A = this chain, B = another copy of it.
Amino acid sequence: MGAVTTALGIREVSEHTGLSIDTLRWYEREGLIPLVGRTPTGRRSYPPAAMRFIRLVQALRRTGMPVADVRHFVQLGGGRLEHHSTRMALLEAQRGSIERQVDQLHEDLAVLTAKIDQYRDLITRGLDCEDEAAGRDACPGGDDVRALVGPGGPATPDRGRGRASLRSTS
């Protein structure tokens, strides 16, 4: 019980949520957090409901929903039944997006892991990427660039210059 703590000041909210004070003010101005009250002297006061709202907004923002979309979600009138399904649909769309992000992250994780294993292997064998023993696909740059042909197919017989830039704005 009594765990509600009544309303918090902006500093406390900032510390609890990790959002900067400026961000909290900005979110409010942008219409992402309603329910923020003011003390009689004009200071922000965040009741528990606002805190809950902020956590939802944070989840939406962290998962990549643009500020404009969060605002749109928020502005569907205050909890009226007729908007529940709209809000729910928006949340479900975002949930789908999150699931896709997780999938993508796992894919990318696999790419990194493969690369890490590769380096570990090369290190234990004491090899550079270019070493013959390292194998064809050793490093991203393990292969040679000379296997270079015109993009659309063998275009010009001339390949005198062979490699090119290899940039590196070091």
Chain A contacts to B: CB under 8 angstroms: 4, 6-10, 12, 28-31, 34-41, 43-50, 52-53, 55-56, 58-60, 62-63, 71, 75, 78-81, 84-85, 87-88, 91-92, 94-95, 98-99, 101-102, 104-109, 111-113, 115-116, 119-120, 122-123, 126-130, 137-145, 147-152, 155-156, 158-170
Contacts and interface: CB of A to CB of B under 8 A. Distances in A.
Contacts of A168: 31, 34, 71, 75
A81 B122 contact: yes
Contacts of A71: 168-169
Contacts of A107: 59
Contacts of A127: 81
| Among A37, A63, A116, A170, residue most surrounded by chain B Cβ atoms (within 10 Å) | A37
A167 B29 contact: yes
A138 B131 CA distance: 64
A19 to B, nearest CB: 14
Contacts of A123: 81, 84-85, 88
A2 to B, nearest CB: 13
Contacts of A156: 39-41
Given A60-B108, A88-B116, 18 more contacts: A7-B149, A31-B166, A31-B167, A31-B168, A35-B141, A35-B163, A47-B148, A50-B140, A52-B140, A53-B140, A59-B112, A78-B141, A79-B139, A91-B116, A94-B112, A95-B113, A95-B116, A102-B105
| Among A39, A106, A142, A169, residue most surrounded by chain B Cβ atoms (within 10 Å) | A39
B52 A122 contact: no
A167 B170 CA distance: 47
